[in-house]
Structure 1
């Protein structure tokens, strides 16, 4: 492809094939689904379902795909392709599988297909471990249904406007996203191991200020529709509060925690709760203060509601239970009463064991424990992922083990690949996916000593290479301070010619709750870089200071400086340094794009660094955290100057081309965030382009293909300086699970 000429529809078609769903079909990734006690699991790759038994060292087809296709075809009168079975929600047992397909429920065992007349739990229903009951919500109250008789029983009856059980805060519940999939509000509850009790939270949003969205183009073609919901912002006295409740299902008896309700400013808090003991002798949960500078582990007595604080940790900035927001908390309460605890108190992120209230440090050094995989109380050992042990990359994950007394530290992987591993809750083995930016994830099952129990999949990149793909370069440069190493990824344009000069696009998300440009094959949103590279752009993704995943000091660079958008000065310094290394990078033509926090960073870059960034596309941008959800400003900016959070303060400095895109029903980052920024541009009398997408929410689902094409056109027109071809992208298949944080 030559960008001295107009790009063709063929170039756009090639770029389209780089997008996530198409790319995933060419390079599959193993996702394990544990069965029963975690001794076996299944996964699906390329339309084939595999069943793995680590103890036996076997991997086989989970069933006869050809026979099942023939039986389904015969039973339904619809031709079924064995390479593309219409199977959803499979449930494996000892000798067969239950699943949904072609508007029916089926069981396939011993080569025989049987139609079932049972009703599986709905998407917002929670079956008990013994499968005898299903918990669900109705009008905010908790109900259970007897799985055998279908009889339904209300367990709570005191809901009122603003008060409900098991729900998410309206500000962070993605109601518009759920509506798009025909789903009601999410329901969170935890069954006790013996299936007799439910742990659920009581959510109180009374007094929280409301926000209004207007749906301009409802499906029925009628008048615009008003949508109201509660949405607090930083500094509001009234915030949502929650308290835990234990419900005895048989007796319909509620045991409420014996303390005042606590503020909740992000729904991830609601996932940090669990039952302990074989029958559920206690409930444990984590809670953070509103400013997140205090983190506590609390024990709740399920029979009395009595609350006991077991661990308290405070800090001058956020105290977190894990390096990245949304990951499983790294805390375990052992049967012995000891507590495994993760902390950044020494400036990194390490494991501690509390015994009789005294912490004993288990790991140490200038590296980070990223994820606890498996704790074996019999052998007194814990398996975990660590970063910072690979000399050339502090983000590469390695599998390690250490004793609960702090001795016997062992690194089980010794290469320079990134190991994305997981384990069933019961432990016993590890599913390891090892990859790099150029090596797709090779999956295998490992035992406790790191020995290979079963080889699974080893995909190649051949199908991507045929389309013009080449792997991104993993690079290390220096931050704007002249001393801190920072890392990122650089994609070369398709059809790369080192004698030419290519415009650069910075694909940005500033965190600060995550990092994104890691050393795994799919660390960036798959296709985000490759698609733009297919259109003749060089693309970079950078983790500047202030993002998560390294030392506490590195992360805290953004504290009180959230408006710096992930150290934009680092991005400028890095791209300039890359331009010195690679003369084919045209650092006089630099664009930038991002979504949500990345949309904020994009607009911020255009006004804060107008001499460097000349073109930007900002989608769903949170351009003013002073009027965004409470957490970002109060917990990540702290007592920093609130004016630093508003890009509008710098609107008069815009000199480049900026396209702002927002969904009119974005109930996470409201469209008024973009409108306020546009108002500032109008006041400053500078030109800006804006595109409001009717009927869509934060992720722009259903219209994302159109926004993607408009983004490509904008960069082709203003960075390449040529007119884009007429091309229509196909709508992308989506699921509710893709909605991210921020």
Structure 2
């Protein structure tokens, strides 16, 4: 009997729901404020029915207006250049509004627009800064790499000189670990490497950087089997330390004086950096007056975290304070989040984040003695972000989760005195608040939403008063696709000890009299949450919405071991990464949900994920073959013995060969019963492809049927190949869970380059 073929409209709708279309479907749903030099005004772009618009905001005056007349500018620019210019899509990557004028770059030239009559003229503008340079605050100098050394130049082009001259391949300056510094993704963008890891002093006279020590660090090997334009295959051999290695990349801090050429080396222990430079991770910073550098350093087992003070004149390093724990000690709730640590003016007090009392809270310390002064926050909530410290008022502002009963992950803006008194919620509603603070801390941009309520974006002062409303997201087009807001649910953990929260996405055209296959979409590491509390669903959320459009019930769960709640909840993953952040809780949630929803067909359950989610997807198939029947794993972290130490050693525990072997999915390869598609990029330097290939070898050894897709020239996120990987994944799930054939002759179009998303990826 011939199987039915899925309606092509399902694929078209699913494609429309992917991340790169969200701006069209949700006008006003997201914005990025671009603050002007004075730190009091900003501009942003927004999609409207008229097209892309540039908006200028003055929070002090409480005004929001178009930065210029878009139609008149388009006409003037077309007349001046002889090029066609669309007012709905002006080719301006950035603008510089000033009193009565706006400056911008377009068509390789710099322009000045007079707002009174919209006349346009070419002008020199500021000297350009290259993509591989880091400019000083005063915009007079920039630092760049030359070989393994650093150089400085004046932006007017008058002078270019060496800051260091002793760099070597194994001891170079301002470099990240190879997987990030020389990423295969960067080469596709035409860049040989990242900009140098440097931080300018506030007065623009010195730069903080580090000598990157990698001698003896092992190398991994990748084969560029299909070079662009043809040619012979090429071997890439980046340095890539793995769990248990003696040698890992280290950072030795150095302060370079741009004007005198003086070099001051830190007289302290080097800082481990298997993940990335401490400067990229924002674990090192100048004090506002330039008198000192402070940095964080954590022991390799992640159980000891210290704050250090570096004297930029002498290189002397002093320990300010240290915290030790039974499990990992983190300076923030999530792995790549900026640390919730502030050294207050004068250097005598430190605001410090800790989970020592069972939840994430802030504490005040004496810097000279390292002694605890008092707890700043306390109670049945968890601090999520440190927003602003008003030292004159002795008040700290932060976001906290756990204050909304309906959803313990929603963020509320709060304040409290540095002495721990006067706790108050600034945002009095029960919405989630995603916050961006003005550079000078004068106000904040607030996006208030829930998973079911579209964002309202405003600028607020620190009393919570709205200074100016910016956008009210219009979800009309989103709803017209057939997309429904996900249903928030609460189930009981597998061990019966606590609540577990998640989201349920209904298939398009939902009919409760039918039975639908179910897909779980896990995230397998305790570094971040799978479920977003806001209307923006995050990477996995866009995937879930697309799968729902294909006709699946989709489930997302934050099981035990994931962050954002209590330390006990998080530590369920420590020494237990093989549970992939609560796979048992996922199974319990599926059964509890289906008990009240007969339209969930638990005889047809699939699972899919990427990276740590890829690990979790395969782990689910192997540990629970009676539940999960079909899986797709992309870029899977299937063996922590093959991955950087900053993952396994920090989030599972010190390396032990027997323990880590048991964590590897290959150790359970004999248990595969369901249908499995493994996908990996041939040039994945984040999670090297041998992670998947070794699993494939063990599956073959056990005589298991599975599908393997290696995308020869693809990196970890399949840049340039996303459309192909999505299509193969959707086809696989449709065939094996819906028992249908994919639409004939339909191909997903390539995904356009999203430079903003790539900027976020590279910090």
Partner of residue 320, structure 1:
330
* Aligned partner (choices 573, 593, 600) of residue 558 of structure 1: 573
Partner of residue 433, structure 1:
447
Bigger mean CA offset, 673-682 vs 176-185: 176-185
Aligned equivalents of 1:87 and 1:581: distance in 2? 53
- The offset of 1:645, in angstroms, is 1.8
Partner of residue 213, structure 2:
204
| Pairs within 5 Å for 1:166-177 | 166-173=174-181, 175-177=183-185
Cα pair 1:603 1:618 within 8 Å, conserved: yes
Partner of residue 342, structure 1:
353
| Pairs within 5 Å for 1:333-412 | 333-336=343-346, 337-355=348-366, 356-359=369-372, 360-412=374-426
Partner of residue 122, structure 1:
130
Q: What secondary structure does 2:607 align onto? A: strand
Q: Does 1:286 align with 2:301?
A: no
- The offset of 1:527, in angstroms, is 2.0
Partner of residue 633, structure 2:
618
* Cα 1:108–1:441 shift into 2, 3 Å: same
* Cα 1:280–1:385 shift into 2, 3 Å: same
Aligned equivalents of 1:625 and 1:274: distance in 2? 28
Aligned equivalents of 1:231 and 1:195: distance in 2? 34
- The offset of 1:644, in angstroms, is 2.6
Cα pair 1:516 1:523 within 8 Å, conserved: no
Bigger mean CA offset, 698-707 vs 65-74: 65-74
| Pairs within 5 Å for 1:429-508 | 429-508=443-522
Cα pair 1:374 1:425 within 8 Å, conserved: no
Q: Does 1:183 align with 2:196?
A: no
Q: What secondary structure does 2:615 align onto? A: helix
Partner of residue 213, structure 1:
222
* Aligned partner (choices 120, 138, 153) of residue 113 of structure 1: 120
Aligned equivalents of 1:269 and 1:200: distance in 2? 9
Cα pair 2:516 2:601 within 8 Å, conserved: yes
| Pairs within 5 Å for 1:704-723 | 704-723=722-741
* Cα 1:275–1:518 shift into 2, 3 Å: closer
Partner of residue 310, structure 2:
300
Bigger mean CA offset, 25-34 vs 324-333: 25-34
Q: Does 1:272 align with 2:282?
A: yes
- The offset of 1:353, in angstroms, is 1.0
- The offset of 1:36, in angstroms, is 1.5
Q: What secondary structure does 1:725 align onto? A: coil
- Residue deviations 1:549-584 (CA, integer Å, cap 9, x gap): 111111110100111111111111111111112111
- Residue deviations 1:669-694 (CA, integer Å, cap 9, x gap): 11111110000001111111000001
Partner of residue 579, structure 1:
594
Q: Does 1:97 align with 2:81?
A: no
- The offset of 1:108, in angstroms, is 2.6
- The offset of 1:35, in angstroms, is 1.6
Aligned equivalents of 1:25 and 1:174: distance in 2? 34
Q: Does 1:149 align with 2:163?
A: no
- Residue deviations 1:623-677 (CA, integer Å, cap 9, x gap): 0001111111111110472123200010011010000000100001111111100
Partner of residue 33, structure 1:
34
Bigger mean CA offset, 31-40 vs 708-717: 31-40
Q: What secondary structure does 1:211 align onto? A: coil
Partner of residue 612, structure 2:
597
- Residue deviations 1:276-321 (CA, integer Å, cap 9, x gap): 4444011111111111111111110000000011110010111111
Aligned equivalents of 2:675 and 2:288: distance in 1? 61
Q: Does 1:636 align with 2:651?
A: yes
- Residue deviations 1:560-616 (CA, integer Å, cap 9, x gap): 011111111111111111111211111111001000001111111111111100001
Cα pair 2:20 2:754 within 8 Å, conserved: no
- Residue deviations 1:2-61 (CA, integer Å, cap 9, x gap): x99421222211111111111222213122122223211111101111111111111111
Aligned equivalents of 1:393 and 1:178: distance in 2? 39
Partner of residue 19, structure 2:
20
- Residue deviations 1:408-455 (CA, integer Å, cap 9, x gap): 111011222111112123211111100111112110011111111101
Q: Which runs of 5+ in 1 are unaligned?
A: none
Partner of residue 310, structure 1:
320
Cα pair 2:284 2:296 within 8 Å, conserved: no
- Residue deviations 1:212-240 (CA, integer Å, cap 9, x gap): 10011111311111111111111111111
Cα pair 1:275 1:281 within 8 Å, conserved: no
* Cα 1:718–1:88 shift into 2, 3 Å: same
* Aligned partner (choices 61, 66, 69) of residue 71 of structure 2: 66
Cα pair 2:182 2:192 within 8 Å, conserved: no
Aligned pair count reads: 740
Q: Does 1:731 align with 2:732?
A: no
* Aligned partner (choices 38, 42, 52) of residue 57 of structure 2: 52
Aligned equivalents of 2:631 and 2:430: distance in 1? 35
* Cα 1:741–1:44 shift into 2, 3 Å: closer
Cα pair 1:106 1:114 within 8 Å, conserved: yes
Partner of residue 83, structure 1:
88
TM-score, structure 1 normalization: 0.97
Partner of residue 694, structure 1:
712
- The offset of 1:516, in angstroms, is 2.3
* Cα 1:316–1:174 shift into 2, 3 Å: farther
* Cα 1:163–1:155 shift into 2, 3 Å: same
Q: Does 1:10 align with 2:9?
A: yes
- The offset of 1:174, in angstroms, is 5.9
Q: What secondary structure does 1:66 align onto? A: helix
Cα pair 1:48 1:65 within 8 Å, conserved: yes
Cα pair 1:324 1:514 within 8 Å, conserved: yes
* Cα 1:335–1:95 shift into 2, 3 Å: farther
Aligned Cα root-mean-square deviation (Å): 1.8
Q: Does 1:260 align with 2:260?
A: no
* Cα 1:197–1:649 shift into 2, 3 Å: same
Q: What secondary structure does 1:107 align onto? A: strand
Aligned equivalents of 2:482 and 2:43: distance in 1? 33
- The offset of 1:172, in angstroms, is 3.9
* Aligned partner (choices 661, 667, 692) of residue 685 of structure 2: 667
Aligned equivalents of 1:558 and 1:182: distance in 2? 39
Aligned equivalents of 1:581 and 1:52: distance in 2? 49
Q: Which runs of 5+ in 2 are unaligned?
A: none
